[in-house]
Chain A
Amino acid sequence: GEDVEQSLFLSVREGDSSVINCTYTDSSSTYLYWYKQEPGAGLQLLTYIFSNMDMKQDQRLTVLLNKKDKHLSLRIADTQTGDSAIYFCAVTDSNYQLIWGAGTKLIIKP
């Protein structure tokens, strides 16, 4: 079946940029999302990108899409302690249902 892969952990220093990567297998994925989950909470939609775009910027967040390599990344500029969370990559299948990665835990070092 279709698959979405993410590394499990990323550790960055406060104030640095964080780059969270994701690879997927479904070449028909039309929409690609990043969700954030804080401890004990539900999933919060951060941003998304349409498959005909290669970049989208929203304040401190930059999403890059390399459709040829099926690679998606989320860059968080000036990482703050409040950015500590698990970040999930999700892509749509042909029925617009989401296929999820296992999440990347972002750890902020002071």
Chain B
Amino acid sequence: DTGVSQDPRHKITKRGQNVTFRCDPISEHNRLYWYRQTLGQGPEFLTYFQNEAQLEKSRLLSDRFSAERPKGSFSTLEIQRTEQGDSAMYLCASSRTGGGYGYTFGSGTRLTVV
């Protein structure tokens, strides 16, 4: 297993378009997290899954954002009708349940909305 993979690494899109990002977690990790990070800030929690169940969504996550994790494996994050304020790095992480393991992060997808 090579770690957490995210695809694409970079995405440039026009305002109003829909975009979808993919995350492949470490196979034995049952938790998967999506974060957003803007320049000079720490990661901002968006949502997380335990297996295929989406257990929590941030209040900051508008209804234009949706995430899925079918079959508890890879996950997708879709942003509909993108806005310039959505420009950020989108980070995926996975972990085992419980503490002490920390999260393993992917390299992120940098989204630029023009």
| B-binding residues in A (CB < 8 A) | 30-31, 33, 35, 41-45, 48, 50, 88, 92, 96-98, 100-103
On chain B, the residues within 8 Å of A102 by CB distance are 40-42
Q: Is B48 an interface residue (CB 8 A)?
A: yes
**Residues 76-98 (chain B) with a chain A CB within 8 angstroms:** 91, 93, 97-98
Interface of B (DSSP majority class)? loop
16 contacts between A and B (CB under 8 A): A41-B107, A42-B4, A42-B106, A43-B43, A43-B105, A45-B103, A45-B104, A48-B100, A50-B100, A88-B43, A92-B99, A96-B98, A97-B45, A97-B48, A102-B40, A102-B41
Whether B43 contacts A100 by the Cβ 8 Å rule is yes
On chain B, the residues within 8 Å of A96 by CB distance are 97-99
Q: Give the distance in Å from the alpha carbon of A41 to the alpha carbon of B108 in the complex.
A: 7
Give chain B's interface residue range (CB within 8 Å of chain A): 20 to 34
Q: Give the distance in Å from the alpha carbon of A101 to the alpha carbon of B56 in the complex.
A: 20
Nearest CB of B to A35, in Å: 8
On chain B, the residues within 8 Å of A48 by CB distance are 100, 102
Q: Give the distance in Å from the alpha carbon of A42 to the alpha carbon of B94 in the complex.
A: 13
- Of all chain A residues, which has the CB nearest B6? A42
On chain A, the residues within 8 Å of B107 by CB distance are 41-42
Nearest CB of A to B84, in Å: 21
Nearest CB of A to B105, in Å: 4
User: Using an 8 Å CB-CB cutoff, how does the interface string of B39-75 with A read, 1 for contact, 0 for none?
Assistant: 0111101001000000010000000000000000000
Whether A42 contacts B108 by the Cβ 8 Å rule is yes
Pick the contact of B42 from A92, A97, A101 — CB < 8 Å? A101
On chain A, the residues within 8 Å of B93 by CB distance are 43
Q: Give the distance in Å from the alpha carbon of A96 to the alpha carbon of B97 in the complex.
A: 8
